[in-house]
Every structure is written in structure tokens, then in C-alpha cells.
Structure 1
Amino acid sequence: MAQRDEPLSGQVQVWKLMYAYVDSMALNCAVELRIPDIIHSLGGGPVTLAQIASHIPSPSVKTCVLGRIMTPLVRKNIFSAHCDGRETLYGLTPSSRWLLQGAGHLNLSPLVLLAGHQYMVSPWHSLSDYIKDGGSFPLKRAYGCEMWDLESQNPEFSRTFRDAMACSNKLMMKAIVDAYKDGFERVGSLVDVGGGTGSAVAEIVRAYPHIKGINFDQPHIVAAAPAHGGVSHVGGDMFEAIPSADAVFMKWILHDWNDEDSVRILKNCRRAVAETNGKVILAEVVLRPEGDGLFDDTGIASDLTMITQTGGKERTEPEWKKLLEEGGFPRCNIFQTPSLLSIIEAFPA
């Protein structure tokens, strides 16, 4: 019986993958409409579809379509649902509580909105062409520029992108700070390369006030950065030079770049810590293609996303060690954090 079911199960798997984007787009739609926030404002459930629709700011909400959007999200446990004998009543689940935008706590909504943005989705259609003939990676093929140019030229997308990066910082920095306590305690000065508005290094300095923090990014980015106690902002180009410090911190930076460019950045990190014989601290995905950890599937998905959006890559432990050695850091330790990212602590000879 099992053998006769094998062809059918294979067919089912193809159907599931074929329509996997539907779940993602339904989730994006729910976040855009702020459905989790609406249910939360009504007490978290149970609430009717009509109650949800009445709080969407539009005079002509298609309630029947809204109900159909909810169906796959209920099946995926984003929302709960039960019938009281007359109509379906909806509520929040542990997953949808991660999508509350106005609750003043960590949430994933900005990352959902970035992942579903048309600028992020359209380049996937060029992936097979990129594999066949090389050349520019898919996003550059689609728009004629790199992500950073796209972000700087489009205010609406820039807001979406920056909100997502700030969300990523909030979500992951607590895990990083908690997991690397001993490592930060012995650092006197720390430069965060590609630190954006400085929220990540500010989080580290708040936890370890003895650290002199330097937020380093492109001049136009640090020019708009807010003041943070214990942190100075420095503009520049990481491919040219990096400010000197006891340690260089980079969160989810090298995955944006191919190996050649990453080695260039690491060599500049090596020069930045030359006087103190310091270290580089990376917060990055460590791919485990055969792993069954909570975030292993997400790491693999992120790797394909890097191919499409930046021409970069996520890396396995052997790939990280090889890259670091070529960049001047032959010794490293890897610490898993309770998040998607690991800490890679690397030293010169």
C-alpha cells in the first residue's frame, strides 16, 4: 500500500511547493491590513469576520475575500478559528502575536512587509537566467542597480527596508548580547561596520557601558542617525578603510557579498584591529544543510534570497573558516544564539 502511495505523495509535494508563495502573500496581505492588530484591539478574539472587516479603514471591504484570505492562515496556525454554530470566530495564536505592530514589543511585521515587497519578489523571475548565463544577479538585472541604490532612490522602499533592518536589530541583538557576554566584557572599543543608524552598537554599549562604541556606515546613512549615549557616528566606505578599535562587529553584513568582496572587507577589519591585535565578531547564519534545528530551513531560504537580492551568500562552518583565514583571521570560535544568527569570533594569528 505504501509503495502505491509514493507517486501520489510525490505529486502532493510538488503541488505544495508550487503554491508555497500563496501562504507568503496571504501573510503579507494580513500584515498590510493589520489584521493581527485589529483582533488584538478587540481583545484577542474570538471575533467575527464582520468585526475584523469593520476595523479596516475602507468603505467597501470585500468581506468574503477577507474570509478566504484567513483560511490558509488558519491552516498554518497564524490565526485560530472555531465555529459557534452560526459563524466562524477568529483569534490570535503565538505566531500572530509576533505580527502585532502597535504593541510596543518585538514583532516580525516589518520583515514580512520587506519580503513581500514587489522590489524583492520580482527578481526571482530572473534566477534561472542568472544560473544559465551569469552576469548580474537577479535584482540588479531587474532594476539596473544594487539594493543600496534602490533603497536610496525610492523613499517608500527605503522606509520599508529601514523598518525591516531596525526590526532585525531589535529581534536579534538581545540574543547576541546575552549569548556573548564574556566576549564583550573584554572589549574596550568596538566599531560596528555597516551599523546603519547605530541601534545595534547602542544596544551593546547599553549592556556594557565601558565600551566606546563607533557606528560606521556610508556618510548619508550616519548623517541621519540619531544620537546614542556612548556611541560616535563615522561615515566612510568599508571597502576603503575601517576605524581602528579593539574589535570589529558586523551583523549580517558579509552575507551580502561574494567571497572576493568579503575577503577585502575582512582584510580592512584586520588593519582596524592591528594595533591591539584584536578580533572580529560576526553575527551571521551558519548554514547546516543537513540540520534539523529550528532555524536551519530559514537559513537555507536566506541563502537563496542572497543570491537573488545581493549576489551574496550564507555560508557553512567550513566556508566561514576558509573565508576568515583568507581575510587574516585564522582562529575562530562559533557560538549559537537563540535566533537565526550565530556569533563567529575570529582572531589574527
Structure 2
Amino acid sequence: METVLSNHSPPSVFKGVSKEEEESLLGQIEIWKYMTQFTDSFALKAVVELRIADIIDRQCKPLSLTEIVQNLEDVPSPDSTLLLRVMRVMVRRKIFSAEKSETGEILYGLTRASKWILQDTKVTLAPSVLLEIHPIHMNPFNFMSDIVKEGTKNGTAFFRCHGYDQFEMASVDPKFNELFNKGQACTTGFVFRAVIAGYKDGFNQIQTLVDVGGGIGGSMSEIVKAYPHIQGINFDLPHVVSTAPKYDGITHVGGDMFVSVPSADAIYIKWILHDWSDGHCVKILKNCRKAIPEKTGKVIILDHVLDPEGDEPFTDIGIAFDMILFAHNSGGKERTEENWKYLFRETGFPRYNIIKINALLSIIEAFPI
């Protein structure tokens, strides 16, 4: 069957306007969209704080607004009309589903997205939601243009906002430290499953492994569970490891990765190097180079490999995280393959390998020979 291509442009979405006027209106809508998208983030934060997904999940069926309100915990006088407006946004964004019951009530159910904000489960992004949308993390974005104009000589956007750098804030504010650690740790389980699936035999020959910047040890605990022959060392700042739980097969060591790194067969660095400038990363990687055997050692990096022109599922999220680093860290950034190649060349790793996995991050192996 012959296909005839039309020479006519698709009909305008607006009535009685010229093509030029339509383009102007569409451009206006785009700006309105990005101007107001923050409201989606705060609606998401609200439903996480109210544990709406968990309420629906516990009942194992879609619930009406009345049923959701009746199950809110520690909420003496909830306003269902205001919650309706929040849920309307969340349905529009497909965080929850909505369907009419036989009686005409709207019943709200879980979607593939809302299952990721459940808090009564090990597989969750809820702590990350609460971290990233917390005022401590959001307010520094108001200083982005100042940083463009002046650089970071007078401090990062985070410092200008709070009077502390991000990691200093964690050391002086116990509540933020707890929020930060939980936000970082919640990704460990499902990201590591992607690592196992994509890396399979990568840990088999390793007897001793150091997790540099390992936080409270969540990543190392997953590795040792999967590879019980490995002796794990969880390495982070003293105030971080002081709150770490005990794990079989893991030793917690406090220290400074810019000074030295404990010796081992291999080094594991998950989502750490993107926080730091090239100069800082050179120091860290040189210390890693000294800590591993010359012939058999390797550094296993779990981080973004940014492709600004890419169209892979996680590309836009990587670009968004680059903006988060812009506001929070001095010199921190998401790196392209060329950026990684530069770091390896400067730190004595002549060979590297990038392994794509089904996760936000990629595996990057760096070898000393």
C-alpha cells in the first residue's frame, strides 16, 4: 500500500494564531513549566512524609481519600481537601493511580513509581527524597548565579547559604548527618544488585577490599554478603564510622582519604569522586594507587559517566545531579569519559574499563598496569 506524505503542517494546538504566534506561546509554556516544576518535588516530599504509599500498600488495595486520611499516623486534625490537591498532582505525575469506584469515590492505588517511595521496605528512594528536597539541600540553589559570576573563591553556594560546606554541616549537625547518611545508604541494595548482575565475576579474585567513603558500611555489607571470602574495610571520616553498625566480616576504619587509604587487594569507591574537584580526585586516586598491589590491584569506581548528548534512560538524571553538585560542592561534577580519562592519566592508571549496568551509575575499573 502506497503511503502519501502530506505537505501540510500538523494543526495548531491554539485557535486563530499564526505559526509565529504559536511558537511564542509554546515557548512561554516551556518557561512556565520549568518555573513551576519545583511544586512536583514538594508534593512528592509531602506524600513521603505522610507515608501515603505505605498506607495504601498495607491495605493491599486502592483506597479512598477518606480511608487514607483515617490511616494517617500522628496527625490529629488532617485536612482532606488539601490532601486532595496534593494527590491530584501526584496522580497527574503518575506517582499514584486513580480510578472511580462503583459509588463514585476516587480510589488511589500504587504505581511503578510509588513503589519506590515505600518506607516499610528495603528497596526505597524515600530517604533520598527527604534529603534532596530538604531546605538544607534546596536553599543553596538560590546562589547559583552568584557562583557563576564570582566562582567559589568566597565559598560554594552551600557555604554561602549555611556558613558550612556540606560535609562540615554533617559533622556539626547530628540530624542532618543522620538524614545525609540515610539518603546515601538507601540506594545501596538495589544499586548493588545491578552491580552484581553487570559485574558478576569482578569481585571473585579479591581477598581484601576497602570501601573509600563507605559511610556507615551499607555497600560493604552487601559486597561481603555476596562474596563472603572478602575481608572488608569500611573507610570514612571518624564521625561517620562512629555511628556505623557492626557487620560480620567488616572492619570500620576512620581516617582521611586525602592523606592515605588502607591497603588492600582492591579499592571500591561508590558515588564519591563526583563530589570533588579534579585536584581533590587526583589526591584520592594517587592514595588508592599506593594502597593496591602493583600488578594485580585495581580500583572499582561506581559513578556517572556523563554523556550530555545522550538519550539513555538515566542521562537527564545525571545532568540534574551535575546541577546539585554545582550548588553543593566546590569543584564537584559529573564527569564525561574524557574527564575520567584525564584523572586516570594524572594518577598512574594507564588502563581503564567502563561497564554499563542497569542503574544510575556505571562501573569504571582502573588498573595500575
Matches of 2:92 and 2:134 in 1, distance apart? 24
Whether 1:67 aligns to 2:84 is yes
1:130 counterpart letter in structure 2 = I
Residues 179 and 335 of structure 1 are in contact (CA less than 8 Å); yes or no, is this contact kept in structure 2? Answer: yes
1:44 counterpart letter in structure 2 = K
| SS in structure 1 of the partner of residue 186 of structure 2 | helix
TM-score of the aligned structures, taking structure 1 as reference length: 0.95
Residues 122 and 189 of structure 2 are in contact (CA less than 8 Å); yes or no, is this contact kept in structure 1? Answer: no
Corresponding residue to 1:48 among 56, 64, 67: 64
1:156 counterpart letter in structure 2 = K
Residues 246 and 276 of structure 1 are in contact (CA less than 8 Å); yes or no, is this contact kept in structure 2? Answer: no
Matches of 1:206 and 1:307 in 2, distance apart? 35
Deviation readout 1:139-173 (Å, 9 max, x if unpaired): 01111211122112222222211111110212311
Corresponding residue to 2:143 among 119, 126, 140: 126
Matches of 2:81 and 2:347 in 1, distance apart? 57
Matches of 2:66 and 2:177 in 1, distance apart? 34
Whether 1:342 aligns to 2:359 is no
2:115 counterpart letter in structure 1 = R
Matches of 1:221 and 1:21 in 2, distance apart? 31
Aligned match of 1:238: 257
1:54 counterpart letter in structure 2 = Q
Whether 1:174 aligns to 2:182 is no
| SS in structure 1 of the partner of residue 206 of structure 2 | coil
- Paired residues in the alignment total 347
Corresponding residue to 2:299 among 264, 280, 286: 280
| SS in structure 2 of the partner of residue 129 of structure 1 | helix
What's the RMSD between the two structures over aligned residues?
Answer: 1.5
Matches of 1:277 and 1:91 in 2, distance apart? 52
Aligned match of 1:76: 93
Residues 204 and 227 of structure 2 are in contact (CA less than 8 Å); yes or no, is this contact kept in structure 1? Answer: yes
Deviation readout 1:279-326 (Å, 9 max, x if unpaired): 111000111111111111100001110111122111011111111111
Q: Which runs of 5 or more structure 1 residues have no equivalent in the other structure?
A: none
Question: Residue 158 and residue 112 in structure 1: after superposition, are their counterparts in 2 closer, same or farther (change >3 A)?
Answer: same
Matches of 2:263 and 2:216 in 1, distance apart? 19
Pair member with larger Rg:
2
Task: Give runs of aligned pairs for residues 1-349 of structure 1, distance below 5 A.
Answer: 3-4=19-20, 5-45=22-62, 47-56=63-72, 57-84=74-101, 86-102=104-120, 104-134=121-151, 135=153, 136-275=155-294, 277-311=296-330, 312-349=332-369
1:182 to partner: Cα distance: 2.0
Question: Residue 115 and residue 214 in structure 1: after superposition, are their counterparts in 2 closer, same or farther (change >3 A)?
Answer: same
1:35 counterpart letter in structure 2 = I
Deviation readout 1:215-261 (Å, 9 max, x if unpaired): 11112222332222222122111000111111111000100101110
Identical amino acids, percent of aligned pairs: 47
